[in-house]
Amino acid sequence: EVQLVESGGGLVQPGRSMKLSCAASGFTFSSFPMAWVRQAPTKGLEWVATISTSGGSTYYRDSVKGRFTISRDNAKSTLYLQMNSLRSEDTATYYCTRDTTSFDYWGQGVMVTVSS
Sites of contact with another protein (CB under 8 A)? 35, 44-47, 50, 59-62, 95, 101-104, 106-109
Nearer to another protein, 27 or 106 (CB): 106
Pick from 15, 9, 10: nearest CA to 85: 15
Q: At closest approach, how far in Å is the CB of 102 from another protein? A: 4
Nearer to another protein, 14 or 87 (CB): 87
First to last CA, the chain: 40
Cβ neighbourhood burial of 74 (10 Å; 0-12, 13-18, 19+): middle
Nearer to another protein, 12 or 33 (CB): 33
Q: At closest approach, how far in Å is the CB of 75 from another protein? A: 26
Q: At closest approach, how far in Å is the CB of 57 from another protein? A: 11
Torsion sign, CA atoms 112, 34, 66, 56 = positive
Q: At closest approach, how far in Å is the CB of 14 from another protein? A: 24
Nearer to another protein, 80 or 95 (CB): 95
CB atoms within 10 A of CB 23: 16
User: Bridge partners of 60?
Assistant: 49
